[in-house]
Homo-oligomer: A and B are copies of this chain.
Amino acid sequence: MANSQQKKKPSKSDQNVVPLIKGRRATSYDVARLAGVSQSAVSRCFKPGSSISGKMRERVMKAAKELEYQPNAIARGLITQRSNLVAVLVSGRLNLYYPEVLFKITEELAKAGLQALLFTVESEEDAESVIEQAWQYQVDAVISASHMSQAQYKVLEKRQIPVVFFNRYFSDHPNTVVYCDPSEQVHEVVKQLKTLGHQKAALITGPEDNMVSRERARMLTQSLDEFGFDIVHEVRGDFTYESGTSALQDIKQSSSVRPTVVMCINDMMAMGCMDEARSVLGWNVPEDLSIVSFDGIGMSQFASYELTTIRQPIGRMSEAAVRMITERVERPDQSHEKRVFEGAVIQGGSIARAPS
């Protein structure tokens, strides 16, 4: 019986006898054996705040170093139910806003000891499978700067995975958000344009289903109305440079009245628009046409563009997003938070007095 028991339940400590074959990765058992202590001791040495005596720690660390031991984050994740992975959802490569956000967020996550699992999402169909992938990988949380339907969000909610939306949110469903509200700045810019004698504006917006686009367009329309502007034309783009170029063509072709200012809902389209104006239509910017936009991405301030744009404080927003993530992971509850940041007008060189 003793025999059968020994056979049936080989204690974990028996594994000590498994030799560390060349090439096999050292485990906590290998370290324990070399240091002549128990596996638990090794584990505790690598967990800050555990009760461990000085000399024990020393012995273990020496052995660990010798074997190049590092705790296995996968195994740790299994037992602790924490992967320390955060899914970051950004949209593809067409809008240089996303890489900026992505890198900032990654940096902040790293500071918090978290890893970014990167997913690019181009549509809600993509989001569907991305959510399943993230779920399989036991991500502790999701930061979404990209497409996600309410239904998809609800799936994550039901699965109790904290989600932080980056500059987007659902107005009709509680959620956790970092958001940049540019309404003040929109007002300010439109007022400034009025002062500069502008009167006729064209709008380049994004897809109808895009919340950021809708919001920015709404703010623009409202302020333009308030200051008595004519909105001579409104075109939808898709946030890319190319769509900015074709949008301006559209405006030129289909408007009987030529606008003196084009308001683009993001920098990429504004750059396309500006290039098209200058290189193809032969309009000078800002002399013949003023351009304003949103985001304030790095390249919008390159000397060729120097856009007057409403900047998002991406750095602070990323910081906040990660803080919210960690809070929600520490103590999961139902509470939601909406952290709103002000925009900031970058006075570039893309606006001027309206041509007469």
Contact A118 B106 (CB under 8 A): yes
Question: How many copies of this protein are present in the complex?
Answer: 2
- Taken together as a complex, chains A and B put the C-alpha atoms of A298 and B99 apart, in Å, by 14
Known: A25-B159, A137-B115. A103 touches B132 (CB 8 A): no
Min C-beta distance of A298 to chain B, whole Å = 7
Q: Which chain B residue has the least Cβ–Cβ distance from A8?
A: B9
Q: Which chain B residue has the least Cβ–Cβ distance from A98?
A: B99
Pick the residue among B23, B70, B303 that contacts A276 (CB under 8 A): B303
Pick the residue among B75, B88, B115, B241 that contacts A302 (CB under 8 A): B241
Known: A72-B138, A83-B74, A99-B99. A271 touches B1 (CB 8 A): no
Q: Interface size for chain A: under 10, 10 to 19, 20 to 34, or 35 or more residues?
A: 35 or more
Which A181-230 residues sit within 8 Å CB-CB of chain B?
Answer: none
Residue A304 CB within 8 A of the other chain: yes
Question: What are the interface flags for A273-305 relative to B under an 8 Å C-beta threshold, 1 for contact and 0 otherwise?
Answer: 011101110000000000000000011001111
Which A240-297 residues sit within 8 Å CB-CB of chain B?
Answer: 241, 245, 271-272, 274-276, 278-280
Contact A72 B136 (CB under 8 A): yes
- Taken together as a complex, chains A and B put the C-alpha atoms of A119 and B102 apart, in Å, by 11
Residue A133 CB within 8 A of the other chain: yes
Contact B120 A117 (CB under 8 A): no
* Chain A interface residues (CB < 8 Å from chain B): 1, 5, 8-9, 23, 25, 68, 70-75, 77-78, 83, 85, 88, 92-93, 96, 98-100, 102-104, 106-107, 110, 115-120, 132-133, 135-138, 159-160, 241, 245, 271-272, 274-276, 278-280, 298-299, 302-305
- Taken together as a complex, chains A and B put the C-alpha atoms of A85 and B96 apart, in Å, by 26
- Taken together as a complex, chains A and B put the C-alpha atoms of A141 and B226 apart, in Å, by 58
Q: Which chain B residue has the least Cβ–Cβ distance from A109?
A: B118
Q: Which residues of B contact A275 (CB under 8 A)?
A: 302-304
Min C-beta distance of A99 to chain B, whole Å = 4
Known: A74-B74, A75-B78. A120 touches B93 (CB 8 A): no
Q: Which chain B residue has the least Cβ–Cβ distance from A279?
A: B303
Q: Which chain B residue has the least Cβ–Cβ distance from A88?
A: B118
Pick the residue among B98, B107, B132, B302 that contacts A120 (CB under 8 A): B107
- Taken together as a complex, chains A and B put the C-alpha atoms of A9 and B10 apart, in Å, by 10
Told that A72-B138, A99-B102, A107-B120 touch, could you supply 12 new A-B pairs with CB distance under 8 A? Answer: A5-B8, A72-B78, A73-B137, A74-B137, A93-B298, A98-B99, A99-B99, A99-B103, A106-B120, A118-B118, A274-B304, A280-B303
Pick the residue among B99, B119, B245, B276 that contacts A93 (CB under 8 A): B99
Known: A117-B116, A138-B73. A278 touches B303 (CB 8 A): yes
Q: Which chain B residue has the least Cβ–Cβ distance from A133?
A: B115
- Taken together as a complex, chains A and B put the C-alpha atoms of A117 and B20 apart, in Å, by 29
Q: Which residues of B contact A117 (CB under 8 A)?
A: 85, 115-118
Contact B103 A120 (CB under 8 A): yes
- Taken together as a complex, chains A and B put the C-alpha atoms of A116 and B89 apart, in Å, by 12
